[in-house]
């Protein structure tokens, strides 16, 4: 098993990676702070009167402002492959009153920024109605159904992926190397030690000299604790024996 394109897009657009916005009839791109909430709606947080809020102000006689959110995956460690780039297109609406307060709570579930306390005063929130999602990786560009994007959940390991990979490299290299070699069997034995370079809920990618191999977990993991439970027999000498 491996992530669907919708899951990859939701993970990249979740709100933990730098993003820029291409806003209709405005010069750009403009760096933005954003999250994608549990319903798959994009929320933009910006200073009132700042570049983003000004650019998103509707033109006289026009409705909501069209924009494209542009987010590129950042590999966690050297040698890790990138998972591509996501464009989310739609229209932005400024939120006020109770809508803004509810959106601030939804934003805080993903990024508990102190600036959320000033929403309605020095900070503003815009909600983006998603009309189109595209995922690009290498030479391949895929349209993602907006409903599938909304229904997908971001990967629970993405925020701690660097820490997990670093811990395996620093403290469990021999155990992981032995496990990977057992999984691969005699068909392919790399000259150098296998290195875990990416992890997600479905498994991990291992660099084997100039190749990459994907090893799947027995089932998708739900969080760090669940991952530790799953890997315990691999990393524990007594259990492995």
Which tens digits make up the pLDDT trace of 66-84?
999 999 999 999 889 999 9
CA separation for the pair 45, 113 (Å, rounded)? 10
Which residue did the predictor score with more confidence, 111 or 60?
111
SS3 of the chain: the string is: CCCCHHHHHHHHCCCCCCEEEEECCCCCCEEEEEEECCCCCEEEEEECCCHHHHHCCCCCCCCCEEEEEEEECCCCCCCCCCCCEEEEEEEEEEECHHHHHHHHHHHHHHCCCHHHHHECCCEEEEEEEEEEEEEEECCEEEEECHHHHHHCCCCCCHHHHHHHHHHHHHHCHHHHHHHHHHHHHHHCCCCCCCEEEEEECCEEEEEECCEEEEEECCCCCCCHHHHHHHHHHHHCHHHHC
Could you tell me the pLDDT band of residue 240, with boundaries at 50, 70 and 90? Answer: very low
Number of separate domains in the chain: 2
Same structural domain, 96 and 165:
no
What pLDDT is attached to residue 194?
84
The number of residues in the chain equals: 241
Q: Which structure tokens are listed for 14?
A: 């979740």
Could you tell me the pLDDT band of residue 241, with boundaries at 50, 70 and 90? Answer: very low
Same structural domain, 41 and 104:
yes
What is the span of the domain harbouring residue 76?
A: 5-152
What pLDDT is attached to residue 111?
94
Q: Residue 100 sits in a domain of what CATH number? A: 2.30.110.10
Q: Which residues pair with 133 in a beta bridge?
A: 88, 144
What pLDDT is attached to residue 58?
79
Average pLDDT of every residue of the chain: 90
Model pLDDT for residues 133-155, shown as the tens digit of each residue = 999 998 899 999 999 999 999 99
Which residue did the predictor score with more confidence, 26 or 20?
20
Q: Give the end of a domain, one of 104, 131, 152.
A: 152
What pLDDT is attached to residue 173?
86
Same structural domain, 138 and 21:
yes
Q: Residue 184 sits in a domain of what CATH number? A: 3.20.180.10
Q: What average pLDDT score do residues 77-103 get?
A: 94
Q: What percent of the chain has pLDDT over 90?
A: 68
Please answer whether residues 221 and 214 qualify as being in contact, where contact means their C-beta atoms are separated by less than 8 angstroms.
Answer: no
CA separation for the pair 140, 233 (Å, rounded)? 38
Q: Which residues contact 224 (CB under 8 A, 6 or more apart)?
A: 156, 157, 160, 164
Same structural domain, 16 and 114:
yes
Q: Give the end of a domain, one of 152, 173, 207.
A: 152
Measured in degrees and rounded to the nearest 5, phi and psi for residue 153 equal -115, 140
Same structural domain, 126 and 235:
no
pLDDT at residue 239 tops 80: no
Please answer whether residues 181 and 173 qualify as being in contact, where contact means their C-beta atoms are separated by less than 8 angstroms.
Answer: no
Residue of 55, 45, 47 lying closest to 25 (CA atoms): 55
């Amino acid at each position: 098993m491996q992530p669907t394109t919708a899951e990859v897009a939701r993970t990249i657009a979740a709100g933990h990676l730098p993003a820029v916005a291409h806003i209709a009839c405005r010069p750009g791109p403009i760096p933005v702070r954003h999250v994608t909430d549990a319903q798959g709606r994009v929320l933009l947080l910006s200073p009132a009167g700042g570049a983003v809020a000004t650019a998103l102000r509707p033109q006289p006689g026009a409705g909501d402002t069209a924009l494209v959110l542009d987010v590129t995956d950042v590999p966690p460690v050297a040698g890790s492959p990138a998972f591509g780039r996501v464009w989310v297109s739609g229209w932005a609406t400024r939120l006020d009153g109770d809508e803004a307060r509810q959106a601030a709570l939804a934003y805080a579930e993903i990024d508990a920024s102190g600036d959320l306390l000033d929403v309605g005063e020095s900070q503003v929130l815009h909600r983006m109605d998603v009309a189109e999602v595209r995922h690009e990786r290498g030479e391949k560009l895929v349209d993602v159904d907006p409903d599938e994007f909304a229904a997908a959940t971001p990967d629970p390991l993405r925020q701690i992926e660097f820490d997990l990979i670093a811990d395996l490299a620093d403290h469990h290299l021999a155990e992981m190397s032995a496990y990977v070699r057992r999984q691969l069997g005699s068909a392919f034995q790399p000259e150098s030690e296998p290195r875990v370079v990416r992890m997600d809920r479905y498994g991990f990618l291992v660099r084997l000299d100039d190749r990459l191999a994907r090893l799947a977990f027995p089932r998708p993991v739900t969080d760090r604790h669940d991952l530790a439970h799953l890997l315990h027999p691999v990393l524990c000498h007594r259990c492995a024996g």
